[in-house]
Amino acid sequence: MTDEQTIVFIIDDDISVRESLTSLMRSVGHAAESFESTHDFLMSERPEGPACIVLDVRLPGQSGLEFQRETAGLGIHLPIIFISGHGDIPMSVSAMKAGAIEFLTKPFRDQDLLDAVHRGIELDRKCKRDQARLDGLQQRYQGLTPREQEVMALVVNGQLNKQIAAELHLSEVTVKAHRAQVMHKMKAKSLPDLVRFADRLDLVIPKH
């Protein structure tokens, strides 16, 4: 399975629903894995790649809504599409407020589910891409020397080379050299770039 293979995880205690949805997802090119319970899903090895979860709201043991509330704490950040044979307005409102992509009541049109799955997978693809960019930024930042990290913090805080030199007891020439290294290692083309990078890294910038 390549990194870009899209996958749909189906969690429903009804085997006929699982088989039907698995077949539907595979018919449009998605990989699909189905589970009888959220416990089975959590115990499984999940492939990488853009994905989403199709989740029955009413399950034996832990309900779909309970599982949804716990996903972030479990390190699971996949978009969720709820399906239900007994959907009611308060339940769907609760699910959507908690971040569900869609709440479909059985019987639903295959196309409605496929549209929701497509939105979910595109959202996950974007999240994974954003996370990869952030990981790259963090790696570049960790590649700076401690002194370069100090200089970067002061630069993005708006200090001039002369002020940074006085703050760190360095010559301006040395500060300029460190600053150039910071820009090069962080792959920042401009000061606004560097400021945006610091913001994305959520660096605690000291105020002077």
Q: What is the pLDDT of residues 78-106, one digit of tens each?
A: 999 999 876 667 777 788 888 889 999 88
CATH number at residue 192: 1.10.10.10
Average pLDDT along the chain: 89
If one counts the domains in the chain, the total is: 2
In this predicted structure, what is the pLDDT of residue 185? Answer: 95
Last residue of a domain, one of 92, 109, 133: 133
pTM of structure:
0.76
Say yes or no: 16 and 90 in one domain: yes
Whether 6 and 31 have beta carbons less than 8 Å apart is answered as yes
Residue numbers of the domain that contains 147: 143-200
Say yes or no: 35 and 126 in one domain: yes
The phi and psi torsions of 159 (rounded to 5 degrees) equal -80, 145
Say yes or no: 175 and 129 in one domain: no
For residue 100, tell me if it sits in a domain.
yes
Positions in the chain whose pLDDT score sits under 50: 1-2, 206-208
Say yes or no: 148 and 111 in one domain: no
Which residues share a beta bridge with 84? 105
In this predicted structure, what is the pLDDT of residue 150? Answer: 93
For residue 138, tell me if it sits in a domain.
no
Last residue of a domain, one of 109, 133, 157: 133
pLDDT in tens, 151-172: 999 999 999 999 999 999 999 9
Say yes or no: 123 and 178 in one domain: no
In this predicted structure, what is the pLDDT of residue 206? Answer: 46
CATH number at residue 27: 3.40.50.2300
For residue 99, tell me if it sits in a domain.
yes
In this predicted structure, what is the pLDDT of residue 63? Answer: 83
Which residues share a beta bridge with 31? 7
